[in-house]
A and B are shown apart, each in its own frame.
Chain A
């Protein structure tokens, strides 16, 4: 998912030696989690819970911000003014989602600059999906349908995450995300129903390229997801990678029929016994390649973020200098009046 790299970190062991006081606090914390209580920023929490959340929320934020880049590629070439306005609104939403999430992470005691630095230094991850290129206009609709569809699948359970500032950000995000998925499906539907053969071929081409990377968004299989158990225990993760992936396949298999496209998987078949769609094996070697920095666009994406940040440095500095000067002037005027 947007935070799939959470599954990639080695299994973290919790500190074995604790003081009596710490153990008591931790027992009280665990009891609150068990009771379904929300944890607020200033409440006591185990260091490991705090660290896990900072990593997860900042990765999620980075994904939203980097996710603006593949779509930005098509702003100037959207086929109509309507589609351009929709695309701009969607990209602005992604930026907003990144900001809600950075703010949620900051409540845990990390700073915005620390998070941005970690991303730019290549130390923090973002979702592997944004390392694929957007080659034709139908990619934009397909991202809405499949990528945002997968995101919603994962994010809805996070609105009940035990860490309240994160859960509140997710409520806001989910409310907006539904527009993203629907506009994507609508855009593809218009091409499929009213388009030319060439336009329909563009849709099929886009779906062929995005289908498997979308399934990889849910992260490695449950058996290879070492930190899942603790995250589930703490209510940071609500449903397993494989459960969510199956839900996504089931939904998309039906939607593809409405759209009139084929999903590029010869093994995709309804299994009446399981009550689910069976699907073929995922190329995990590709997943690890992309996560490891060798996807089609990893370097380009990071370079674009770093350039935007460096080019904007003078604006950030000038705004701060102006604010300080104004504050000093006001202070001087007050002192003179007194």
Chain B
């Protein structure tokens, strides 16, 4: 048995896959895969994530090109909206006659 030890430096880069399930809907993240270049990433995304007509369009983005918020900043970023209930339509009870406004 001859297993060649492989260094991670020789791994194909990682890509994130986004699929638009049908016309009119947003592309949605559905997973990741390894591929050598963008063209191969698209082909593999089709094989791995749309074997049952799950999509009408696919985006692939190199994982290393994504900038993400830090989970540690969750409170700082998102909690300030917690007490701004006036941003929601339900904050404004209106008379029954116009309540479907």
**What are 13 A-to-B residue pairs whose CB atoms are below 8 Å?**
A103-B32, A113-B7, A113-B11, A114-B8, A117-B6, A168-B31, A172-B30, A306-B2, A306-B3, A319-B37, A319-B40, A320-B12, A323-B36
B52 to chain A, nearest CB (A): 8
Most B-side CB within 10 Å, residue of A111, A114, A303: A111
Q: Is B5 an interface residue, CB under 8 A from the partner?
A: yes
* CB contact between B51 and one of A42, A96, A319, A327 (< 8 Å): that residue: A96
B6 to chain A, nearest CB (A): 4
Interface of chain A residues 21 through 70 with chain B (CB within 8 A): 40, 42-44
CA distance A95 to B70 in the complex (A): 33
Q: Contacts A42-B68, A103-B31, A169-B31 given: A96-B3 contact, CB under 8 Å?
A: no
Per-residue CB proximity of A111-135 to B under 8 Å, as 1/0? 1111011001100000000000000
Interface of chain B residues 6 through 34 with chain A (CB within 8 A): 6-8, 10-12, 14, 30-34
Residues of B within 8 A of A (CB): 1-8, 10-12, 14, 30-34, 36-37, 40, 47-48, 51-52, 68, 70-71
Contacts A103-B32, A113-B8 known; list 8 others, CB within 8 Å: A40-B71, A43-B71, A44-B71, A106-B32, A113-B10, A172-B31, A306-B1, A323-B40
Which 10 residue pairs of A and B lie closest in terms of their CB atoms, listed nearest first? A319-B36, A323-B37, A323-B36, A120-B3, A113-B6, A111-B8, A103-B32, A42-B71, A43-B71, A320-B36
Per-residue CB proximity of A294-325 to B under 8 Å, as 1/0? 00000000110010011001001101101100
In the complex, number of A-B residue pairs with CB atoms less than 8 Å apart: 73
Q: Chain A contact residues: over half helix, strand or loop, or mixed?
A: helix
Q: Contacts A117-B6, A169-B31, A319-B36 given: A302-B1 contact, CB under 8 Å?
A: yes
Interface size on A, residues (CB 8 A): 38
Q: Contacts A42-B70, A323-B36 given: A116-B6 contact, CB under 8 Å?
A: yes
Q: Is A100 an interface residue, CB under 8 A from the partner?
A: yes
Interface of chain A residues 194 through 225 with chain B (CB within 8 A): none
CA distance A111 to B9 in the complex (A): 10
**Contacting residues, chain B, for A323 (C-beta < 8 A):** 36-37, 40
Decide if A320 touches B5 in the complex (CB within 8 Å): no
CA distance A266 to B7 in the complex (A): 53
A202 to chain B, nearest CB (A): 30
CA distance A190 to B11 in the complex (A): 45
**Contacting residues, chain A, for B48 (C-beta < 8 A):** 96, 99-100
CA distance A116 to B52 in the complex (A): 28
Interface of chain A residues 74 through 99 with chain B (CB within 8 A): 89, 92-93, 96, 99
CA distance A93 to B68 in the complex (A): 31
Q: Is A326 an interface residue, CB under 8 A from the partner?
A: yes
A203 to chain B, nearest CB (A): 29
* CB contact between A121 and one of B3, B36, B40 (< 8 Å): that residue: B3
A332 to chain B, nearest CB (A): 17
Decide if B5 touches A117 in the complex (CB within 8 Å): yes
